[in-house]
Structure 1
Amino acid sequence: MEVVLLVAVTVLLGGIVVLLSLWGRKAKQGSESETSGEKANGHAVPEKQTTKKQKPQKPRKEKTQPHTFSHPLLASALKAHSGGITCLDFSSNGKYLASCSDDRTVRIWSTKDFLEKEHRCMRANVELDHATHVRFSPDCRSFIVFLANGDTIRLFKMTKKDDAFIFSATGEDFPKRHKSTIINIGIAETGKFIMTASSDTIILIWNRKGDVLATINTNQVANAYASVSPCGRFVASCGFTPDVKVWEVCFNKTGEFREVCRAFELKGHSAGVCGFAFSNDSSRMATVSKDGTWKLWNTDVEYKKQQDPYLLFTGKWSGKEPCRIALSPDGRVVAIASICDITVYNAQTGEIEEEFKSVHGNVISDLAFDINNRFLVSTGDRVVRVFHNSAGYRAAIADMKDMLKKATTKGTKDRLQKQIMDAQKALDAVYKHKD
C-alpha cells in the first residue's frame, strides 16, 4: 500500500514539473516576441495587429459630364429636356420650334427668343410613353407625335387655361398598323393627310381621324427616310436603292381622297441614298448618298407630261453614316450631319462654308433650317443647338448681285439693292455677335 502511494506521489510531482517547464518556455517565447517587435525608435509594435476585415468598397460611379460645345456662330443652346431629344420641327409660320424627348415631354420654343439669354418654352406631357417624332399641324395650334411604346400617332391641341396656353392630348390614339420601326411621320400643309413610314418598305397615308387611306410599298428593300413635301402634295422616300421615289397624294375638288400616283424619281447616285430634303416651295431637292456625293435637283417640272427633274449640282462629302441632310428654304445652302459633325455647303458652288465638329454628345438625331433662312438647328443629346446661317446670307447676297447686273428696270434694281443691303446688314450683325 505504501509503495502504491509512493508511486502516485512520484507521478504527481513529475506532472507538476512538466507543466512548470512548459509554462516557462511559453513565457520565454512571449518575451522574445516582444523584444523582436521593438523598432529602432524604441517603441514596441505588435508583430501582428488584429483588425476587423473590411468589406471591399464599390467603385464610385462618376457622374456623366454634359457635353460642351462652343463656336462663334452658335447663336444659342436650348436646354430644358432631361432626356435625349429625338426630333425637331418648325411650325409653318416660323414662330415655334417643337422638340420631343425620351423624358416624356414635348417642348414648344419661341423662335423670337433664340437670340435672348432666356429661352421660354411650353411643355406637353406624353403620359405613360414618350415621343420619337413630332410634327406641327398647318394651323400651328396642334401637333402630332409618334409614341415609342404605343407604336401609334397621338394628337395634341393647344387650349387656354388661366390666361396661359397649354397643350394636351385629345381624342383617341391612332390604331397600330406598322410592323416595323417608324423612321418618320408628317402632316400635309393642306391638312388633308398624315404620313407614317417604317423601316421595311411601307408608307401609310392616313386621314386626321385615324383611317388609312392608302398603303405605299416603296420596293426599295428597306426605307432609310421618307417625308411629306412642304407644299403638301408629295410623299417621297429613299432607301437601299440609289434613287428617290416621289408620289403625289391626290384629292378631288370636294376634298375627298382619290389616289396615290407615282410623280417622278431622282436617279443619278451610284449607291443607296441616305436622306433627302426639300426647299420650302418644293421646287428643289437635295440628296446625300453612300457613294460619297450630295446632289441638288430642280424638281419644278411638269411630271404629268413625263418631264424628269434635272440635276443642278453634284458635290462631294467625306462623312460617315449615320447622316442627315437639310436644305435651306431658299435652296441656296446644304447642311449635312455626319455622326456628331455638321458641314455646311454652298448649294451652287459646292464649297464648304462652315464646319462644326463634335456638336453633340451623341449621334445627331435631327437637323433643320428655320423657314426664314436665319438659323440652322440640330440635336443629338439633351440640347438643341441654334447656329446663325451665315452661309445663307452670303449666298443670297452673291445671287442678288448677279441678278442686279442683269436687271433692266429701275424698280427691279432698287428692289435688289434694298434686299442686298438688308442681307448685308443681317450678316454684319452675325459677325458682330461672332466677335
Structure 2
Amino acid sequence: MPADEQSPESVPVIAVTAAVGAVVLLLVLLCNMGRQKQEEEREEEEQEEKAEHISEPQKTSKRREQRAAGRSKKEQKATFSHPWLSCSLKSHSQPVLDMDFSANGKFLASCAEDRTVVVWGIKELDKKEHKGHRVNVELDHATLVKFSPDSKAIVLNLFAANAIRVMKLARKSDGGLGNAEASFDFKQHHKEEINCIGISGNGRFIMTCAKDTSIVIWDLKGEILAQIDTRQMNNSHAAVSPCGRFVGSCGFTPDVKIWEICFDKSGAFKEVTRAFELKGHQAGVYSFAFSDGSNRMATVSKDGTWKFWKTDVEYKKQQDPYLLLTVPYTHNGHYSRIALSPDARTVAIATGVDIALFNTVNGDQSATLSSVHSSPITCLLFDPTNHFLLSTGDKHIHVVRNVAGYQSAILDLNEKVQKANGEAMKERIRQQIKQYRDLLSTYENGSTS
C-alpha cells in the first residue's frame, strides 16, 4: 500500500486520540488557571490582612472620633440657652443625681453616676467659671448627698450597698477644700432602695427613706433611734424640715404626713409623734418642699395641681395647716419635683425636662423654661440667697437667675405697702421694691421663656 494512503480503520483511532489530547490539555490549562487564581486571592487576602493590621489603630482612633463627634453633636443639640442662665457647672462625666448646699452657704455638693462627688465653691454663682473639688467614691456611686450642719462632712447614699456613708472633708490653711476620706458606713437596714436622705439642722439625727413605706431615724453614729411606717403604699419623697424638728413623707396616697422628732432638754432622743397632715389632693403626691423658716410648704400631685400651705400651726391643739393656694400645672405624665424658694415667694416645678415657675402671691405662672436638660430633671433647688435656681438632669448643673423671684417679691411688697402702718414702714418697703426693680431691669429681656 502506498505511504500516503491510510486504512479506513485507523481514522477513528486518530480522531479519538486527538480528542483525548485536547481534553487533557484543556484540563491542564484549567488547573493552572485555578491555581493561579487561588494564589492571587491568597496574596490579596494577605495584603488586606496586612493593611487591616497596619491601619487598626487608625480605624480605632477614627471610631473614637466619630463617637466623640456624636456625643458632641448630642450635647450641642441639648445645650440650654436662656437670658436668665447665669452659668453651667461642668465637671461630671455621667448624669448628676443629687445636689445639696452647705449650711454656711459656701459650697455645693453634687453626686453622679461617674463614681464621684464634686464639691463646688459657690460664693459667687454669677461667675461663668467654677472649679470643683472631686471626691472619688470607691467601688460604688452615690445617688444622694447631704452636707452635715457644720459643713465639715458629707453624707452619701451608696447605690450598690443601699446604705449610708459619712465622708469627712479636710480643709486647707487658706480655707479651701483638701482631701476627703470615708469616716464610716452605716449598717444596711432598708430592704428596698433608699430614695431620700436628710439631716436635721441641729445635727441631732439623720433620716433615710426607702421606696417601700419605711423611714428610719438614725443618730450621727449610725445607731437606729426610731422607725416609721408611713402606710402610704410607697414613698415617693421624704425630707427633714430646715428647723430640724419635722420629717415629712408623701407617696401613693393623696396626702403629706408630718412627724415631729422629739428630744428632751438634755438632747437625748425621746419619741416620734404625728404632727399634722396636708390633705386635699385628689391623687398621689409626687413631692413637697419646706420654706427656709419651715412655716410654709408646697406640694405637687398627680392630680395636676400644686398647693401652697401655711404650716406654722399649733398642731398639739389640733390646729390644721391652712391651704393658701391650689394651682393647676402642666402635667405630662412624668414625675414632678417641686422647689420652694427660701422666702416662700416662688415655686418651681420640674416635669420631664421643663421647669415651670409660679409666684405664691396669686399663683400666676411667671415663666416656663423648656428643654433645660437632655434627660428628665433629677434635682431642683433654690440657693440659700434666693437669687438662683439650680437644676440637673444630665451631666451638667444649670444655674438660672431667679428673675421670677424678683417679680414675686415686687408683687408681695406692693400688697404689704398698702397695708403698712406708718410712713417710715412704707418707705422701707418702697426701698425694697426699688431694689428688686433694679435687679429685674437687668434681666427684663428674659422675662418670658
TM-score normalised by L of structure 2 = 0.85
> Aligned residue for 1:76?
87
Name the CA distance, whole Å, in 2 between partners of 1:22 and 1:262.
106
The question of whether the paired residues in 2 share the 8 Å contact of 1:295 and 1:315 is answered with yes
The question of whether the paired residues in 2 share the 8 Å contact of 1:226 and 1:236 is answered with yes
Select 2:158's aligned residue among 147, 150, 155: 147
Q: Which runs of 5+ in 2 are unaligned?
A: 1-6, 28-39, 50-58
Secondary structure of 2:356's aligned partner? strand
> Aligned residue for 1:85?
96
> Aligned residue for 1:232?
244
1:93–1:21 Cα change, 3 Å: closer
1:24–1:131 Cα change, 3 Å: closer
Name the CA distance, whole Å, in 1 between partners of 2:11 and 2:101.
112
Q: Does residue 404 in structure 1 map to residue 417 in structure 2?
A: yes
> Aligned residue for 2:296?
284
Structure with bigger helix share is 2
Q: Which amino acid aligns with 1:246?
A: I
Q: Which runs of 5+ in 1 are unaligned?
A: 1-5, 27-48
Quote the offset at 1:394 in angstroms.
1.0
Quote the offset at 1:405 in angstroms.
2.2
Task: Please give the residue correspondences for 1:257-336 in structure 2 after superposition, counting only pairs within 5 Å.
Answer: 257-319=269-331, 320-336=333-349
> Aligned residue for 1:426?
439
> Aligned residue for 2:354?
341
The question of whether the paired residues in 2 share the 8 Å contact of 1:135 and 1:186 is answered with yes
> Aligned residue for 1:106?
117
Q: Does residue 189 in structure 1 map to residue 190 in structure 2?
A: no
1:351–1:24 Cα change, 3 Å: same
Name the CA distance, whole Å, in 1 between partners of 2:367 and 2:15.
104
Name the CA distance, whole Å, in 2 between partners of 1:130 and 1:50.
53
> Aligned residue for 1:42?
none
The question of whether the paired residues in 1 share the 8 Å contact of 2:349 and 2:355 is answered with yes
Deviations 1:142-173 (A, max 9, x none): 21111111211111222135755224134320
Quote the offset at 1:361 in angstroms.
1.0
Range with bigger deviation, 369-378 or 114-123: 114-123
Identity of counterpart residues, as a percentage?
A: 47
Q: Which amino acid aligns with 1:143?
A: I
Name the CA distance, whole Å, in 2 between partners of 1:434 and 1:95.
29
Q: Which amino acid aligns with 1:106?
A: V
Task: Please give the residue correspondences for 1:92-131 in structure 2 after superposition, counting only pairs within 5 Å.
Answer: 92-131=103-142
The question of whether the paired residues in 1 share the 8 Å contact of 2:382 and 2:389 is answered with yes
Secondary structure of 1:261's aligned partner? strand
Select 1:392's aligned residue among 387, 390, 405: 405
Q: Which amino acid aligns with 2:19?
A: V
The question of whether the paired residues in 1 share the 8 Å contact of 2:147 and 2:155 is answered with yes
Quote the offset at 1:68 in angstroms.
1.3
The question of whether the paired residues in 1 share the 8 Å contact of 2:194 and 2:211 is answered with yes
Q: Which amino acid aligns with 1:318?
A: T
The question of whether the paired residues in 2 share the 8 Å contact of 1:113 and 1:119 is answered with no
Quote the offset at 1:14 in angstroms.
4.0
Range with bigger deviation, 324-333 or 411-420: 411-420
Q: Which amino acid aligns with 1:325?
A: I
1:93–1:162 Cα change, 3 Å: closer
> Aligned residue for 1:35?
none
Range with bigger deviation, 238-247 or 156-165: 156-165
Report the aligned-residue RMSD.
3.1
Select 1:243's aligned residue among 255, 258, 264: 255
The question of whether the paired residues in 2 share the 8 Å contact of 1:154 and 1:169 is answered with no
Task: Please give the residue correspondences for 1:343-362 in structure 2 after superposition, counting only pairs within 5 Å.
Answer: 343-362=356-375
Q: Which amino acid aligns with 1:412?
A: M
Name the CA distance, whole Å, in 2 between partners of 1:129 and 1:20.
81
Name the CA distance, whole Å, in 1 between partners of 2:412 and 2:208.
37
Name the CA distance, whole Å, in 2 between partners of 1:153 and 1:342.
30
Select 2:385's aligned residue among 368, 372, 376: 372
Name the CA distance, whole Å, in 1 between partners of 2:135 and 2:266.
35
Range with bigger deviation, 197-206 or 119-128: 119-128
Name the CA distance, whole Å, in 2 between partners of 1:426 and 1:124.
36
Secondary structure of 2:443's aligned partner? helix
Name the CA distance, whole Å, in 1 between partners of 2:360 and 2:291.
12
